[in-house]
Structure 1
């Protein structure tokens, strides 16, 4: 909402929605709503955010997945995580593969979770997620 001196992100969206700044404001509003627990609003704003930056696209898409997960929509969360994974970069892909694996585990689908974990181990071995992946692999393999 701004502070009286500077406009807030919602005002920027209203006034400059089609500019680069207005579009980026949708991302910030969406992430803010996610952190405030307003998951439907987060989905709305993050879904309206478009970017050519692949990392930011993956993060916004994954955040939509997080909002769906908080709403109890595991299948929708998994679809968003798959879209974030498809961006395919060394930073965000292993992060969302781990999230995908954890959701699959919570659904009792250890076989698919194992596949996600093995991709992290084999293809993203230098990632932060790979440093701890063996414990997840062991857990779903028991």
Structure 2
């Protein structure tokens, strides 16, 4: 794994074109996991939602979309462009989200991920553990179904 300096910054609606590009590249259309532009616009307007953008060499290569409510948060989306994977971008985004949670007095973060998704290893290496499973939640375009795993992590 080669690592490079990942620059992180707060994002907003001005980043929609970047988010759209990253999602189109990062999420395999077989699973329908990417959000539409309107879904992202809608969630960004909700109080307690924040967007973190990851850049390498001045180009946006990843993002995390998080929602905090009281003392809990949910990682709604995390995406890294394929050409930037295995360079520490996903881990840097997760660290930033957890630091933001701590600053907001959030004590626990949740996320949901499709069983078999390569990102599960990243989440487990970052201290997340499984607390639930929704069987047959995701349906691929081929008709096969996959469970959704619910993971959580306490924020120190």
Fold shared, TM-score > 0.5 on shorter chain: no
TM-score, normalised via structure 1 length: 0.35
TM-score, normalised via structure 2 length: 0.33
Pick 1 or 2: higher relative contact order, CA cutoff 8 A, min separation 6: 2
Higher share in helix: 1
Higher share in strand: 2
